[in-house]
Amino acid sequence: MGLVRPAKKIVESLSARGIVILSAEAPVVLCVVDWVEIANGAHDLWRKLLAEAAGTTVDRVALHTHHPHDTPGHFFSRDEMEDFKNLDGIVQDTAFAEKTASRTAAALRASLPKAKPVTHYGYGCAEVAEVASNRRIIGEDGRVAHWRGSACNDKAIRDLPEGVIDPWLRNISFWNGEQPLVSITYYATHPQSFYGEGAVSPDFTGLARSIREATLPDVAHIHFDGAGGNVAAGKYNDRSPQNRLILAQRLVNAMETAWAGTKKAALNDSEFSWRVKPLALPVRETLAGESEKHLLSILHDKNRPDVRILFHAAGDLVWKRRRQAGRTLDVGCLKIGETSILHMPGELFVEYQLAAQKMAGERPVMVAAYGDCGTGYIGTGVAYRQGGYETGDASRVSQDSERIILETMRCFFGTSG
């Protein structure tokens, strides 16, 4: 079940992929799951299980989702569902999700004796042609005039400019001498081509990853979705099924170019560091003013509203309670030689990725978003004033989030820019 849609068939298998970095410090775990979202207490559970398996602390586990829409999600812990446990199997399959988390942790634990030495890291990048476009098209009045999602049937809207995106795919790799061990790619876009029909698949970004895996079978291939909350393939995709392979091949072209242009450098413990900062994002104003009684009345409505309404009410209730309890999110920054990887929560707007790169100056920065997705979309301050889907009820945070996020990112890059 992806975004509360029932699964009907398996088109391509899903996976959880990651690495454990063993150094003089405690282990660091980087993991991405081919699910639509993992959020709230469920995100806490996955990190706890992975940390225990790796022999490290929870703050040294970065857990993300790939975000294809026709995939499962794990949105709430059992405790968080106590007030609406009647919806288990409707808003999520809790038993299946918990079992998958345990299996992932077991696989991590089993991998540790097989750890391989790393002598070098590599970095390469390439521009991706005709894949990403901004979903939000701003009119002359300064507000969202058109919306162009993952697919767009209106040619006039498809023909409008790409808008603000980050066109670059970035690739970091780990090597043992001349032998490549791991290739990790980062690119900011929603990964959907066609979806909503219950056909489970990691979609075109997952297909691109599979093609690369077939090309370099002895290398572990991992792909993280960047800050693509307001970015999708809509300009180049009219929802035709054949576009999945076309979009995947365009991404493969960039992956191949980035790999071919990789520059290697020796790596030792002194060139590796992991830092974490807490992030306390304010609750959306309209949600802050909404009573728990109202949200619970939706969840307990005997006439049972549309399942999407139930899902959003549950997410609002849990996020509001977590913030009232003082729960924060973790932002992690992994520095490897001259490169940095920023691990962020939520459906983050691409402007944050561009801001991080500007702060870092000449140092390459990769961004992995879709960490704890309890936030929903995280827009920029101006985006909340522009209107549109992402900054309405689909976002559980307020426009003040931009200031807080930028301040947090500056802590990693030592700049006031």
Distance CA 375, CA 394 (A): 9
Per-residue pLDDT of the chain (417 residues; tens, 9 = 90+): 345 567 889 999 999 999 999 998 999 999 999 999 999 999 999 999 999 999 999 999 999 999 999 999 999 999 999 999 999 999 999 999 999 999 999 999 999 999 999 999 999 999 999 999 999 999 999 999 999 999 999 999 999 999 999 999 999 999 999 999 999 999 999 999 988 888 999 999 999 999 999 999 999 999 999 999 999 999 999 999 999 999 999 999 999 999 999 999 999 888 889 999 999 999 999 999 999 999 999 999 988 888 899 999 999 999 999 999 999 999 999 999 999 999 999 999 999 999 999 999 999 999 999 999 999 999 999 999 999 999 999 999 999 999 999 999 999 997 543
- Residue 198 has a pLDDT of 87
Residue 268 has a pLDDT of 85
**Do 329 and 372 touch, CB atoms closer than 8 A?**
yes
Distance CA 369, CA 189 (A): 10
State how far the Cα of 333 lies from the Cα of 344, in Å rounded to an integer: 9
**H or E stretch at 285:** helix 285-288
What is the model's pLDDT at position 4?
A: 56
Residue partners of 309: CB distance under 8 A and separation at least 6:
298
Q: What is Dmax (Cα atoms) for the chain?
A: 63
Distance CA 386, CA 286 (A): 16
pLDDT digits (tens, 9 = 90+) for 381-402: 999 999 999 999 999 999 999 9
Coil vs helix vs strand at 23: coil
243 CB contacts (<8 Å, ≥6 apart)? Answer: 151, 193, 194, 204, 233, 236, 237
User: The pTM is what?
Assistant: 0.96
